[in-house]
Structures are given as C-alpha cells and as structure tokens.
Chains A and B, each alone.
Chain A
C-alpha cells in the first residue's frame, strides 16, 4: 500500500467492511451465529461502512461496488463453529489492513478514527473467540 492515496486506502477498507456486513447478514439468515452477537457485530460493521462512505463522499469519491460472496463464506456457513472461525480470520485480516492504513494516512485527523475502528475489530475477534470457548488473548 506504499504509494496509495488516503482515498484509495479508505476504499479498500470500505470494501472490506462490506464483506464483513455481507458475512454477518448471511450468518444471521442461516442461523450460523448467535442472533444477539451477530446483530451487534453487524450493526458495528454497518456503522464502520457508513463512516467510511461519508469520509469518501467528503473527498468526492464514489463507493466501491460490493463484491460477490466468496466460496469460503459459503463453506463457512455450514455451522456456528465454522462460521466463527471464518469470521475471526476475516476480522484479523481487516485489523491488519487498519493497522497499516491508520499509520499511512497522510491526513493525521483520519488516523485516530481508523484506529478506533481497528480497536472495535479486535473486540469482535474476542467476542467470536468467546463464542468458541477459546483463549481470548492473542
């Protein structure tokens, strides 16, 4: 991501948030996540996506198009444990993107809010690990 502009980084993050929204929507439809947990995580991801969209709109950028569901998501929707493991991987990869993007932002005012979304993603991983009964600290 060395040469990308702030807007390009934000677009990548938004695409990622949209994947998370799609994943939690699908899991709730298929009852492969506890409904209370799933609705909370979905609400957070929608808020993250909305905030990124608004920031991009202020920069005069259009939102990226939503992607088609991945084969990995389809496979993960077999049961609650497989979905939780899939969601942890997706959240972890998203956290890594936020770590890099929050550090790279040329506009210093965007770094902290991106970091706060990253921190929420880290909390999602803990919630998902708790649903699996696994050790919580990374």
Chain B
C-alpha cells in the first residue's frame, strides 16, 4: 500500500514534531553522576518524550468519548509507567532524572484539539515519534539491560500506535517494517 499524506495529517505530524522537539530538547540533561556514554542522556531524552506524551494524552481525553477515550486513557497510564521505569534506570546509572515541565508548559505546545479525529491523529503522530525514538535508542544504548528495557517499551508504543490507527479506521500496520528494514 503506497503511503499517502493528507494536509491535515501533515499538520498533525508537524504539531507532534514541534511538541516533542520542544519537550525533548528543552529539558536539561542529567547534570551529575553518570559517565559519558552511559546512556543516561539518551534515557533522559526518552523520558522527556514519555512525559510530553502523558501530558498530551490528558488533553486528548478532553475531546474523546467512549471506547477511544478508554483506549487512550490506558495508553496514558502506560506512559506514566514507562516514565517511572526510565527514571529508575537513570538513577541506577548514577544520574538525576531531568525535572520535566509543568502541565501548563506542556499544554502551550499542543495543537488545538477540537474533535476526536484531531486527538487520534495527534496520538498517532506522537506514537510514531516514540517508536522511532526507541528504535534509534536500540542502536545507540551501550548496555544490554538498557536495550532490553527500550525494546520492551518500544513494543508497548507499537501497540499504542496500531491502536491509534485502528481507532481512525486505518490498517493497524502501514507495512511489514514499521520504521525500517533489514
């Protein structure tokens, strides 16, 4: 199936990119403790994405109803669990998890979500960003235990991405390789 991108989808993707770039890039990295190359800085970036997604799904819940709301609510709970796990890993490396932002600060970066369709499209793009980030982390993280954790979370994010697609009436997977090929 040839991928197609409508203007609305492109705008949703741009909004997600803006949110995640601003949330990921603006948070201070862990400042003391872990050795350079330990993976703590990369984990800090993933943590920023998780926190941004958690906040974004709070905004999505305001416009979602019924089954879609229940599914995104469940995703949001898992994002909180992922964030807690990443905080522990950073601490185990001797680092201090970055403090994150207030809900209000995150909200200022979100696009206006007027309808359930807006919220689901935003959810899809956030999850695409997260899956890509975790796949990149799999390549770059230096330690097996850290890569195991990243791969496990990536599987959860892939579940979320497919769920967001199905809730919009799209096929669960766009193709056999979600963001890459052998």
> Do A and B share a complex?
yes
A positions within 8 Å CB-CB of B: 40, 43-44, 47-48, 51-52, 54-55, 95, 98-100, 102-104, 108-127, 130, 135-138
Minimum distance in angstroms from A77 CB to a CB of chain B: 22
Majority secondary structure, A binding face: helix
Residue from the list B152, B163, B166, B180 in contact with A116, Cβ < 8 A = B180
With a cutoff of 8 Å between Cβ atoms, the chain B residues found around residue A130 in the complex are 166, 172
Give how many A-B residue pairs fall within 8 Å (CB-CB): 139
Across the two chains, which residue of chain A brings its CB closest to B171? A40
Q: Are A124 and B173 in contact (CB under 8 A)?
A: yes
Chain A residue at minimal CB-CB distance from B157: A119
Q: Is B138 within 8 A of A123, CB to CB?
A: no
* A107 to B171 Cα, complex, angstroms: 32
Q: Does B61 make an interface contact (CB < 8 A)?
A: no
Sorting the interface of chain B by its residue count into under 10, 10 to 19, 20 to 34 or 35 or more gives: 35 or more
Say whether B181 faces chain A, with CB atoms less than 8 Å apart. yes
Contact A103 B147 (CB under 8 A): yes
A119–B154 touching, CB < 8 Å: yes
Q: Establish whether residues B182 and A111, one from each chain, have CB atoms under 8 Å apart when the complex forms.
A: no
Chain B residues within an 8 Å CB radius of A125: 159, 162
- With contact pairs A104-B144, A110-B182 given, residues A127 and B171 touching in the complex (Cβ less than 8 Å): yes
**B178 on the A face (CB < 8 A):** yes
Q: Which residues of B contact A123 (CB under 8 A)?
A: 158-159, 161-162, 165, 172-173, 178
* Residue pair A115, B135 in contact (C-beta under 8 Å): yes
Using a CB-CB cutoff of 8 Å, which residues 133-169 of chain B contact chain A? 134-136, 138-140, 144, 147-148, 150-152, 154-163, 165-167
Q: Residue on A with the closest CB to B134? A: A115
